[in-house]
Structure 1
Amino acid sequence: MNEVQCEISDGVAVVTLAAPQRRNALTVGMAAELMAAFDEIDARDDVGAAVVRGSGGSFCAGADLGVLADASQDPLDDDAQRDIDALYGSFLRVGRSRAATIAAVRGPAVGAGMNLVMATDLRIVARDARLISGFLRIGVHPGGGHFTLLTRAAGRDAAAAVGLFGQEIDGERAAELGLAWQAVEDADVEAVALQIAGRLGKDPALARRMTASFRREAGPPATSWDVGLEVERGPQMWSFRRRAQARPA
């Protein structure tokens, strides 16, 4: 289908949702391709970071309407359950990648698309990007761990406003709330994301160990400080030894 493209260069993978004709809305097949792309990334030892982006000026318009329509016919049907699980599995796959992940968000990120944004470790957004929970407006309960993803990024009030009360926010507001690291001009989103990712791409082995420790400590659930000290101890000792071994005799 080739609706997800993966290009790897200089230690950084760029994963592109490539279905602009439907604003990159996720189908079951597309979710499978996304998981396969991250399987490829994780199977390589030369990738320290991955940037997830959408094509055609949109990030992701959510779950494809066909998937939602099929599921609504009989939500407890085995096929419907498998389809929804496939979509949820793609968010989890991104969130569990060995490489650190950055979402480069232009245009709308709606519902499942917003889940995909929040599944990454860091977000760079266009100032005029549109982040929309979208579930309330179509009369559907949020899914995919929506409230958890929002709360861990920006706290309870932001999760309530966006996820529960359906407030739409732009990129500027997302950065103010902590849902994104930085809001920039639309034309600069991907360049900024790649520049940040490139720092980890230079040392994939260290990047992967740091990413694993970061997620264990930051959560959810976040760890206590004393547990964090122990989580970091082993990887830090490894990095000390590697640094010493790299020095000329």
Structure 2
Amino acid sequence: MAYNFISASSDGAVTTLAIARSDRLNALTPNVFVELKAAMDEALANGCKAFVLSGEGRAFSSGADLLPDGAGYEGLPDDLGALLNDHYNPFVQYLMELPAPLITAINGPAVGAGLSLALAGDISVMARSAYVLLAFVNIGLVPDAGASWMVAASVGRARAMELALLGEKLSAEEAHAIGLINRVVDDGDVLATAQAIAAKLAAGPGKAIGMVRKQINAAVESTLNDVLAIERDNQRELGFSEDFKEALAAFDEKRKPQFNGR
């Protein structure tokens, strides 16, 4: 399928997606979300077991596009709540519910809702020269697209307040130091590092990995008793899985397991 606002390519069971609006610093529009979702749906149908999300050019994403683009997008509407409800929030929820892991390759600035997408990754790899910015307050808005939850869940209330209220840039090293992102690498290694992580996960027990990502996300906002119940139910199901049986056989036979995701 041909895309106008993103690029998509696959290598084995890993699909790499990139926002392809480099002339607008990969600013986000509803069309970007439509194409990303379509590409992910197609990849999953074709056996994709891990995703990498990045941006083309020098930015990961500068956030919501504030101006018309001449390609059907008329800029921000008066009712920003409707825009979030119809486009941003459903896509973020879609990412969080993916059955396959998502690695974000933060190749450049991740700003506003672009930071929300960057933090939606299960593992994030950031270029040394890149920065993140909760820019909303600088234009009189609040964090959206899940940024409030993702930032606070990662770094705690005090840091989240500082980032959201001051609206200041945070370098890659600073973001890593406070636990906002996972890894910092040289600029030229970002995509390859993310793809290597994705390939490792794609070769793993896919059913368990899908459950792990949902379980950890649920744990952030659940009570201990809720999490214990989720863990029990997931472990019960995985105990009957082919991957677990293969792992037991491989352990007994002193070999590396060959998982099939079932």
Shorter-normalised TM range: 0.7 to 0.9
Deviations 1:194-221 (A, max 9, x none): 1111111224xx2243222332234342
* Map of 1:240 onto structure 2: 244
SS of match in other structure, 2:57: coil
Secondary structure of the structure 1 residue equivalent to 2:189: helix
Q: For 1:79-94, what aligned pairs fall within 5 Å after superposition?
A: 81-82=82-83, 85-94=86-95
CA contact 2:115–2:134 (8 Å) conserved in 1: yes
Contact map agreement 2:97 2:214 (CA 8 A) in 1 = no
- Cα 1:175–1:40 change in 2 (3 A) is same
Whichever residue aligns with residue 216 of structure 1, its letter is Q
TM-score (norm 2): 0.82
1:25 and 2:27 equivalent? yes
Q: For residue 7 of structure 2, what is the aligned residue in structure 1?
A: 5
Contact 1:102–1:124 (Cα < 8 Å) also in 2: yes
Question: In the alignment, what sits opposite 2:229?
Answer: 227
How big is each residue's C-alpha offset from its partner over 1:19-58, in whole Å with a ceiling of 9 and x where there is no partner? 11101101111111111122223323x3221110100021
1:223 Cα deviation from its structure 2 partner: 5.5
8 Å contact kept, 1:18–1:55:
yes
- Shift in alpha-carbon separation, 1:82–1:160, aligned structure 2, 3 A: closer
Amino acid at match of 1:20: S
Q: Deviations over 1:161-189 (max 9, x none)?
A: 21233232011111111111111111111
- Alignment gaps of 5+ in structure 2: 254-262
Amino acid in structure 1 at the alignment position of 2:208: R
How many residue pairs get aligned? The number is: 241
Aligned residue in 2 for 1:188: 189
Q: Do the aligned residues in 1 keep the contact of 2:215 with 2:231 (CA within 8 Å)?
A: no
State percent identity of aligned pairs. Answer: 29
Greater Cα offset, 180-189 or 87-96? 87-96
Deviation at 1:145?
Answer: 2.2
Whole-Å separation in 2 of the counterparts to 1:126 and 1:221: 30
The higher-RCO structure (CA 8 Å, 6+ apart) is 1
8 Å contact kept, 1:126–1:189 = yes
What per-residue deviation string (whole Å, max 9, x for no partner) do you get for residues 140-174 of structure 1?
12222221111112222221121233232011111
**CA distance, structure 2, for counterparts of residue 237 and residue 178 of structure 1:** 35
TM-score (norm: length of structure 1):
0.86
Match of 2:38 in 1: 36
Alignment of 1:41-120 (within 5 A): 41-44=43-46, 46-66=47-67, 70-72=75-77, 74-75=78-79, 81-82=82-83, 85-120=86-121
State the Cα distance separating 1:135 from its structure 2 match: 0.3
Could you tell me which of 10, 16, 21 is aligned with 1:14?
A: 16
1:53-92 alpha-carbon deviations (Å, 9 max, x no partner): 10002100101113798545x317xxx7257621332222
Residues in 2 aligned to 1:33 and 1:114: alpha-carbon distance in whole angstroms: 19
- Structure 1 unaligned regions, length at least 5: none
SS of corresponding position for 1:173: helix
Checking the alignment, whether the CA contact within 8 Å between 2:104 and 2:125 is kept in structure 1 is yes
SS in 1 for 2:67: helix
* Higher share in helix: 1
Q: Taking structure 1 as reference, are residues 176 and 233 closer, same or farther at Cα in structure 2, changes over 3 Å only?
A: farther
Aligned to 2:209: 210
Distance 1:153 1:118 in 2: 9
What is the one-letter code of the residue matched to 2:34? A
Report the residue type matching 1:75 in the other structure: D
- Contact kept, 8 Å, 1:11 with 1:200, in 2: the verdict is no
